[in-house]
Amino acid sequence: MSATRDTIFALSSGRPPAAIAVVRMSGPRAGAALQALTGRLPAPRQAALARVRDPQSGEVIDEALALWFPGPNSETGEDVAELQLHGGRAVIAAVLAVLGRIEGLRPAEAGEFTRRAFENGRLDLTAIEGLADLIGAETEAQRRQAYRQMKGLLGDRAETWRGRLIEALALVEARIDFSDEADVPEELVGPALAIAQGLRAEIADALAQAGRGERLRDGLVVAIAGPPNAGKSTLLNKIARREAAIVSPVPGTTRDVIEVHLDLDGYPVTLLDTAGIRDSDDPVEQEGVRRARERAADADLVLWVVDATAGPGSGLKPDSQSGPVVWTVRNKIDLLPESLSNEHESDLLLLFAVSATSGKGMNQILSALADFARDYFGSEPAMVSRERHRTALRVTLDALDRALAEGTKGREDIIAEELRLAAQTLGRLTGRVDVEDILDVIFRDFCIGK
């Protein structure tokens, strides 16, 4: 750590007013700043009650808990100090103003605490991305995946892969550089390629789960589609348990796509209410139908809603062979005679009979949606959760494929170069080698104080 580096400070807790406000400092003057405000340094990693004063006037600002974490055994790897204050706006403003007047201190930028943790080797890039996902997690499944990513689900594995690649590269380079030495075995390329072959299989397996991990961050997309006036908006409101969409008996009420984000048994789901699909001379409705078809085609699951009272053959569902999974939902069964309303209710995977108005049949469709989400995302968190991870592993895999292909040609220098590229790419994945060009992208969405 550089003694000339700025010491940063920020409010690291939520927006005031709140019960508690945490003000954090990190850098070479963190201890001096804490001592200036409280008159002493508490024992490392032990909370101590302290009166927080303005060093200039001596006025008491608040009573707080003070904590001291000397580097390098701290979150950022630097000296870190914290004040746990009462969370009123005036208290926070006064403390931040005092810190701003201390020489060598300045307000932190977004993500700067976490960036210093990375620069000081406390976190790798995959762990930092996991931390960002943990902060943004809205469902239990997202939380589990983000936490495991933060604790090294991908980063630790990537470093293990990189170590094995370096071992394979060393074997090939030994063969190239010391081929005339008597004590260097002639056959070193074979064991190196065997290592590369094993790594290829492991990385390919991780890539096979990439779409599932990335989708969990964004959520399962379920589109509600069908002909006009079939009760699509009513069904969306029933699933969402609130009036998210306007309901009207007039066909064509829904013109644009309405999105509702749900937590369905711990899984993130985005529900789309789309315009009724029909031929129309109205250019606005035509645009709504176009958008409805487009969003339904991109969804993971389509609930094709038809009016159960409209007669057989009405609103037939689209062909699902080349698109998303389609479930047919016969709505408005409360308007049918009892003998007809129960028809086909047992065929839950393909067809549901519901009344979005009365709620009849809704438990079955909600249960089926939860099962679909569980099967779609899988029970275990995916190792690859971002496009950046997928791209890096794909480049690594391609380099390994080229190295293995060169094994039959005996061009050891080409094999070594491809193994070196694969190792460098894995290093960029975790941030162990040149990643300056992607740091700003990773940290730009962090909040101030984190």
Helix, strand, or coil (residue 23): strand
pLDDT at 202 over 70: yes
pLDDT at 402 over 90: yes
Rounded Cα distance between 304 and 74, Å, is: 54
- Cβ neighbourhood burial of 60 (10 Å; 0-12, 13-18, 19+): exposed
Detail the DSSP E strand segments found in 102-239. 105-107, 220-225
Residue for token digits 């009760």? 231
Contact 424, 197 (CB under 8 A): no
pLDDT at 347 over 60: no
Say what the pLDDT of residue 182 is: 45
Residue 231, Ramachandran bin (φ over 0: left; ψ between -120 and 50: alpha; else beta): left
- Of residues 385 and 433, which shows the higher confidence score? 385
For CA atoms 321, 327, 331, 333, give the dihedral sign: positive
Rounded Cα distance between 24 and 10, Å, is: 6
pLDDT at 48 over 60: yes
Lowest-pLDDT range of 175-184, 298-307, 373-382? 175-184
Say what the pLDDT of residue 275 is: 63
Q: How confident is the model at residue 441 (pLDDT cuts 50, 70, 90)?
A: low
Average pLDDT, integer, range 206-222: 84
Rounded Cα distance between 66 and 167, Å, is: 47
Say what the pLDDT of residue 346 is: 39
Say what the pLDDT of residue 1 is: 43
Say what the pLDDT of residue 407 is: 78
Contact 10, 23 (CB under 8 A): yes
Rounded Cα distance between 56 and 54, Å, is: 5
Any residues with CB less than 8 A from the CB of 289 and at least 6 apart, and which? 275, 276, 277, 278, 280
Average pLDDT, integer, range 12-39: 95
- Cβ neighbourhood burial of 57 (10 Å; 0-12, 13-18, 19+): exposed
Please provide the average confidence, as pLDDT, over all residues in the chain. 83
Say what the pLDDT of residue 184 is: 45
Between helices 189-208 and 210-218, what is the axis angle to 10°?
A: 40
Average pLDDT, integer, range 110-121: 92
pLDDT at 169 over 70: yes
Rounded Cα distance between 225 and 319, Å, is: 13
Q: pLDDT over 90 for what percent of the chain?
A: 45
Average pLDDT, integer, range 411-416: 87
Say what the pLDDT of residue 348 is: 37
Q: How confident is the model at residue 116 (pLDDT cuts 50, 70, 90)?
A: very high
Say what the pLDDT of residue 211 is: 76
pLDDT at 307 over 90: no
Say what the pLDDT of residue 89 is: 96
pLDDT tens, residue by residue, 416-425: 999 999 999 9
- Of residues 94 and 212, which shows the higher confidence score? 94
pLDDT tens, residue by residue, 275-304: 655 555 556 555 666 666 777 778 889 898
Average pLDDT, integer, range 396-409: 90
Average pLDDT, integer, range 184-192: 72
Q: How confident is the model at residue 312 (pLDDT cuts 50, 70, 90)?
A: low
Say what the pLDDT of residue 344 is: 46
CB atoms closer than 10 angstroms to residue 22:
20
CA neighbor of 276 nearest in space, from 313, 240, 304, 244: 304
* DSSP label at residue 43: P
pLDDT at 338 over 70: no
Strand 60-69, strand 220-225: pairing: unpaired
pLDDT tens, residue by residue, 67-95: 999 999 999 999 999 999 999 999 999 99
CA atoms within 13 A on the CB side of 390: 13
Any residues with CB less than 8 A from the CB of 23 and at least 6 apart, and which? 9, 10, 11, 12, 82, 83, 85, 92, 95, 96, 99
Average pLDDT, integer, range 15-38: 96
